[in-house]
Structure 1
Amino acid sequence: MRRAFLFSTLVAASGLFFVAKGRASEASEELIRKGDVYYARLEPSEALKYYLPAEKLDPNNPQLLVRIARQYRHLMSETAAKEQKKQLCTTAVGYAQRAVAIAPNDPDTQLAVAISYGKLLPLVGTGDQIADSRLIKSAVDKTLALDANNDLAWQILGRWYLALADVSGVKRALAQIAYGKLPPARYEDAVRCFEKAIELNPNRLMHHIELGRTYMQMGRTTEARKCLAKGLSLPNTEKDDPETKDLGRELLGKLH
């Protein structure tokens, strides 16, 4: 009799647990839907008002963690203070790392790691830049292995090649002494990646401007001018598109 009572109690408790879990999941999904409205409006602070409470209800939801990482990266464009940018980006990196730990075979989580570390790169010292660049390459390679048609992954890979191609022989030698050999990279590799990104998504202006920047570094001014002008002609759709256009205008000004 006692065993029967204990068994029925456990069954009841288990039922309550799954009911509570189900309700938490439903509440989290509703919060995410509301946050997505503000994400679409490029309002990261408002989106986080819904995403962060949703995280408390569903802390192991990798897509939610990817969304949160993205919002913290978007907040970077709303401040000019380097330390604040670094703090926001470090938070984004943390959420991206949590997401990829839960779902390593999801291209969105791998891409979140690559983008977040890429945003952090100019805000840290040389040693961290070299270490982080290896993490970026690893994450973006995994992203493309999972989704070869991800235009943002090709964009990140192009930037990776461009950054390394810009490193002079002297700097490479010094970096090798302190941090180990840097991987080889050519401007042509960056061009290939940006062209692939444009093929996949011709309406994302950053692809054209980064390709223009690469051509400029190669001394191919006619192609550079054409790509920069194309990027500047496209409408803003991303949070940091205004900053990207500022870069495009600056580069185009140097070509005249």
Structure 2
Amino acid sequence: MAGASFSGNEQLLQQAKQLLNRYKDSEALLLYEQVLAAAPDNYEALCKASMLHCRIGERYSTDETSKMQHFSKAKSYAQKAYEIDHVDAESNFVMALSISAEAMASGAKNRLVGINEVKTFLDAALASDDQHAGAWHIMGRWYFKMANLNLIEKVASKMLFGGVCDEATNSQAAIALEKAVAYDPDNIRYYYDLACIYDEMKDTAARNTTLEKAISLTYETKEELELSRRCKIMLQEK
């Protein structure tokens, strides 16, 4: 029976992966959680379910309750995966992703706490796999956020954590996002975020080159089409 159960879970994981590759996030999540119902310590299912809850939660732009429910589940799965393997890149990545998602949807103090906590997991993820595009993406966003705290956030950060990280500059953010693009050149989100950083840096040439690459990609989802639309609008700006 144990062998049959293992075989069944492997089939579900394969089916979930195929759905994920076809951008059917909700359907894939159902299968990953079906695996977890039978095998709560399945590392792959924990990591993927955490990532998908983050991704799906982001789509609830006006429903804060549903958004936070997804982020809470994402963090719970990530913590279980981290308990199983605290060294692997993927467990550290989903920890960083879920903490970051929850933090950005929280109040000012919790947001700062979460943002500061994220860096440790990103460092660990990249120590395990220095070509992890997702980790580089969050690292870039982390640098950018820390480099552009408002005055109140800077004061609070100094009181809570001893100040803003000296490494947190827009240039460091751009370098991290450039690596995310290099390791996953088909992800329009990475290009869009990198273009936003170049725009903040007033580097119009780099911004426009990045945007042109972004709009040349093939898109499959509503989110990608929306990002493409934003890229085209930004490209028209001087």
TM category, shorter: 0.7 to 0.9
| 2:238 matches 1:234 | no
Letter of the 2:100 counterpart: G
1:13-92 alignment to 2 at 5 Å? 20-80=1-61, 81-92=63-74
Correspondence for 1:189 among 172, 191, 195: 172
Flag structure 1 segments of 5+ consecutive residues without an equivalent.
1-19
SS in structure 1 of the partner of residue 5 of structure 2: helix
| 2:84 matches 1:99 | no
Separation in 2 of the partners of 1:242 and 1:77?
16
1:130-149 alignment to 2 at 5 Å? 130-149=112-131
CA deviations 1:37-92 (Å, max 9, x no partner) are 22222112212332222112211111110111122123225433233222212211
Flag structure 2 segments of 5+ consecutive residues without an equivalent.
none
Match in the other structure for 1:248: 231
Letter of the 1:58 counterpart: A
TM-score w.r.t. the length of structure 1 is: 0.82
| 2:126 matches 1:122 | no
Q: Identity, % of aligned pairs?
A: 23
CA contact (8 A) 1:111 1:139 kept: yes
Shift of 1:243: 4.5
Separation in 2 of the partners of 1:188 and 1:174?
24
Larger radius of gyration: 1
Correspondence for 2:134 among 132, 152, 155: 152
Alignment CA distance shift 1:150-1:24 (3 Å): same
Match in the other structure for 1:11: none
CA contact (8 A) 2:35 2:42 kept: no
Match in the other structure for 2:154: 172
Match in the other structure for 1:216: 199
Separation in 2 of the partners of 1:246 and 1:77?
18
Letter of the 2:29 counterpart: L
> Following TM superposition, where does structure 1 have runs of at least 4 consecutive aligned residues deviating by more than 4 angstroms?
237-240
TM-score w.r.t. the length of structure 2 is: 0.88
